[in-house]
Structure 1
């Protein structure tokens, strides 16, 4: 399974939903505290690009070089239609300072969030991540394409995804014959994807459960994913 540090790094670098909160700062809405871009530096600091008129930029400038406490919150929402779409959240707490000359384009200001505490609560469970672990971790190699790949699986290979229920076996009685006829009694939606495997959410009647399907070996790129998915589908057909 991906480590907590890898999962946190993946969310910070790739998830599209992020907002910065600063204690004591009242804003008109979370949209004005959403960075235009963000990245992680080699020491684990998070760099956030904001419009010059953002409240975050104004507060940091007014501090005159003093560190400002802040929290970057990431909300991970499944890119496919599925019950309970929020897959997890991550929080990076630290201190904001300006980056002199770091603006990437006119009308923007680059801020540095020096990482202090990292926590997450996702499909794997709740965890705390040390700053040095966060700095040493790498984002999942499939994260950049995950939304596209899950949407493709849901739209073009839903029947094959459903057949994976056969691999769950006796652990889940709802899978028995659920996809054998012309009218499946369960729906199967690919929920999450990483280099180690695929997670599917099965829904039907009063039953909602997730099943995790591990790949034969960790995947590094699209070609490796294609081979691993074919191996899963072949295994399901042989059940």
Structure 2
């Protein structure tokens, strides 16, 4: 049977890769923004927290017990929709500061996959207070539970499944592609909309998502918002396969973009 949608673990990995600044919630404190949230090979998350303030002080005082925390990541649609949030990911666990002797190695490891500029502001004097720069401390969040919620409901996933999954190969380019599809190729969206149930075709159809398994459309009408997935015949792994799969969904007989010869 052909796979028609990403697994829960794949959805979470893609959401983590797309999310910018995440929010870190600790009981008794205002939520803090953390620009770096990177899944490590041991199943914990490397995160950055403001080095100066109550949060870092609380983690230090918690010592070996760690501070209970929840990391929240929001996956926003790249288009201005009525409801822009596509999914929410909550990662609950215990947070510890990374020992000084391990910071440099962990920063190198994170930067190899995620060269976030905020890494340059971790436990260094490079932050410029006159420009409003924040100095960050490097922490580790040891996972206790992971939950993702979207329009289909909420579901949890184990750490093992999360480590085995990979982000969608197109998630880094998805936002640009969807914006281009909306602005320059409404004919493609209209062709895809013909695959929708008849009851949804009268609403405003917008491109919502794109991954190796298919295309998602959002229909906005008077009754609310409706998300529909149009699956590809089989998962694709490169741009050529993606182009062919979309053409097939559109009902185009020329999968490579060729035109019939004139006789």
What TM-score comes out, normalization by structure 1 length? 0.82
Contact 2:169 2:237 in 1 (8 A): yes
Q: Which ranges in structure 2 are unaligned for 5 or more consecutive residues?
A: 108-118, 125-134, 255-263
1:207 Cα offset (Å): 6.5
Verify: 1:172 aligned to 2:198, yes or no: yes
Q: 1:18 is matched with which residue?
A: 22
SS at match of 2:240: helix
1:235 Cα offset (Å): 4.6
1:41 Cα offset (Å): 0.7
| TM-superposition CA deviations, 1:6-59 (whole Å, max 9, x none) | 1122222321252011122x22xx4xx111212101122111023322543232
Q: 1:118 is matched with which residue?
A: 146
Superposed, which structure 2 residues align to 1:42-61 within 5 Å? 42-61=41-60
Structure 2 vs 1, CA of residues 205 and 115 (structure 1 numbering), >3 Å: closer, same or farther? closer
SS at match of 1:153: helix
Query: Once superposed, what is the RMSD of the aligned Cα atoms?
Result: 2.3
1:119 Cα offset (Å): 0.9
Of residues 220, 232, 236, the one that matches 2:249 is 232
Structure 2 vs 1, CA of residues 208 and 236 (structure 1 numbering), >3 Å: closer, same or farther? farther
What TM-score comes out, normalization by structure 2 length? 0.75
SS at match of 2:169: coil
SS at match of 1:76: strand
Of residues 201, 207, 210, the one that matches 1:193 is 210
List structure 1 segments (4+ residues) > 4 angstroms apart after TM superposition.
Answer: 204-208
Count of residues in correspondence between the two structures: 221
Structure 2 vs 1, CA of residues 55 and 151 (structure 1 numbering), >3 Å: closer, same or farther? farther
Verify: 1:130 aligned to 2:158, yes or no: yes
1:217 and 1:129 map into 2 onto residues whose CA distance is 24
Structure 2 vs 1, CA of residues 54 and 210 (structure 1 numbering), >3 Å: closer, same or farther? same
Superposed, which structure 2 residues align to 1:1-239 within 5 Å? 1-24=5-28, 26-27=29-30, 30=31, 33-101=32-100, 102=103, 104-105=119-120, 106=124, 107-168=135-196, 171-175=197-201, 186-204=203-221, 206=223, 208-235=225-252
Structure 2 vs 1, CA of residues 149 and 56 (structure 1 numbering), >3 Å: closer, same or farther? farther
Q: Which ranges in structure 1 are unaligned for 5 or more consecutive residues?
A: 176-184
Contact 1:6 1:134 in 2 (8 A): yes
| TM-superposition CA deviations, 1:102-130 (whole Å, max 9, x none) | 26432332111001101111134311111
1:229 Cα offset (Å): 1.9
SS at match of 2:16: helix
2:239 and 2:6 map into 1 onto residues whose CA distance is 18
SS at match of 2:228: strand
